[in-house]
Amino acid sequence: MTMTHSGDGAAQAAANTEALIARRRQLLGPAYRLFYDQPLHLVRGEGVWLYDAQGKPYLDAYNNVVPLGHCHPAVVEAIARQASTLNTHTRYVHETVLDYAEALLATYAPGPGHVMFTCTGSEANDLALRIAQAHTGAAGLIVTRHAYHGVTLSIAQASPSLGRYVTLGPAVRTVAAPDSYRQAPGETGPALARAVREAIADLARHGLRPAALMVDTIFSSDGVQAGPAGFLREAVDAIHEAGGLFIADEVQAGMGRTGETLWGYMRHGVAPDLITMGKPLGNGHPVAGVAARPQVLEAFGRNSRYFNTFGGNPVSAAAGLAVLRTVQQEGLMQNAGRVGAYLRERLQGLAARHDLIGDVRGAGLFIGVELVRDRATREPATEQAARVVNGLRDRQVLISSAGEHANTLKIRPPLPFSTADADRLVAALDETLAAL
């Protein structure tokens, strides 16, 4: 038998990946994007680890799609069991979707009384906007300047982070996101509220009224803005005073990721009119939805017929129920709080040795590390952030970047992340920064 040298094996793997990329480009078209200068060909996941085609492990510090970790047995078993019995849509009576709705709504109490299921966060945000417009009779929508809320037509038009060629809708207004790194202490909440009021006034100048303020409650795409807890209250008061609704987009912050509360909005002591949820609900299975106060949903329900072929199907409901129960039973929110605090402390220690780190912020296991070229001017270090992300990939640790200037390292691992995992991440980041 001819033995293959490891170098030859690596070369063959790289060639295989390039062939797959070329095939992908041919079949899927030009709009898709891949992570990293050297894209990964992943074939397996388990817990907080992902494995490439050669069996090389990568520490996953990025994928909030799987709050329980990759391929959690409870979810795999729930999906397989239900798929082997029945899978159909919500036009037939079935207990599992009701059990799931009941369990989900209990996590919000007091508040929403209804939940409507979709497959994706994009669909959920699209539906929430329709409900808000039906309730208020208004069209205006206020989002942050670098927000991402989804890819349907109406929501892509309210997702400026998609790029300058995606045109904002005529009734969409953007406001500067919170920036605890550059704003004076105590100014984060008042500044956001002033910006919301200015957006409301601008809508009025164009003969429009606001239907809603929609924010991702961890401001992920804006560079991860978590604190101080409570800063959202004034902005929510401002939209309510103008007759609009507050939509809490929990696709990023939800399911215990912030370590303090199951849902991100709860950290701010506010009561949303609509709550949208997405990818963490199904641990990789497409589960999403909108929770609503009954009086908010009344007008939409009276005048519209809603149907989603796959949203709320028995398999998805079984997956969602398994995820929710596992988060609660395994104490994953509490783990996120404990390990997240430990990780932020370790990252702040790195800042003492690397001037490139300007700020470390976050809540639980959603952390932003902002890189700056100069701590005095706080000029964004965009190029260096890209090099760090790729350098970590080369050291088998996966993260990404966020923010208007893509200079904030975005760290959001699966919730079973341990202190040992945190140490591995910090060691790899230390090496990567030193190599710059």
**Which strands, in side-by-side order, build the sheet including 42-46?**
42-46, 49-52, 57-60, 397-398
Tell me the CA distances in angstroms from 4 to 10, 200, 257, one per residue in order.
Answer: 10, 66, 44
Q: What is the pLDDT of residue 11?
A: 82
Domains within the chain, CATH numbers bracketed: 8-68+331-435 (3.90.1150.10), 73-329 (3.40.640.10)
Distance linking the first and last C-alpha atoms of the chain? 43
DSSP string, 121-167: HHHHHHHHHHHHHHHHS--EEEEETT----SSHHHHTT-GGG-TTSP
Nearest to 369 by CA among 222, 224, 184: 224
**Which strands, in side-by-side order, build the sheet including 210-216?**
114-118, 288-292, 274-277, 245-249, 210-216, 140-144, 172-175
Q: What is the pLDDT of residue 31?
A: 86
How many other C-beta atoms lie within 10 A of the C-beta of residue 366? Answer: 24
6-31 core/surface letters (b: 16 or more CB in 10 A; e: else): eeeeeeeeeeebeeeeeeeeeeeeee
DSSP letter for 278, please: -
Strand 57-60 and strand 408-411: the pairing is: unpaired
Q: What is the pLDDT of residue 122?
A: 97
DSSP letter for 365, please: T
The position carrying tokens 């070229």 is 373
Q: What is the pLDDT of residue 6?
A: 60
Helices and strands: H and E segment counts in the chain: 12, 16
Nearest to 75 by CA among 311, 324, 310, 258: 324
- Token readout for 394 is 């080369």
Assign 193 to helix, strand or coil: helix
Residue 271 is which amino acid? A
Q: What is the pLDDT of residue 121?
A: 97
CB 230 within 8 A of CB 237: no
pLDDT in single tens digits along all 436 residues of the chain? 333 446 677 788 888 888 999 999 999 998 888 889 999 999 999 999 999 999 999 999 999 999 999 999 999 999 999 999 999 998 889 999 999 999 999 999 788 999 999 999 999 999 999 999 999 999 999 999 999 999 999 999 999 999 988 899 999 999 999 999 999 999 999 999 999 999 999 999 999 999 999 999 999 999 999 999 999 999 999 999 999 999 999 999 999 999 999 999 999 999 999 999 999 999 999 999 999 999 999 999 999 989 899 999 999 999 999 999 999 999 999 999 999 999 999 999 999 999 999 999 999 999 999 999 999 999 999 999 999 999 999 999 999 999 999 999 999 999 999 999 999 999 999 999 999 9
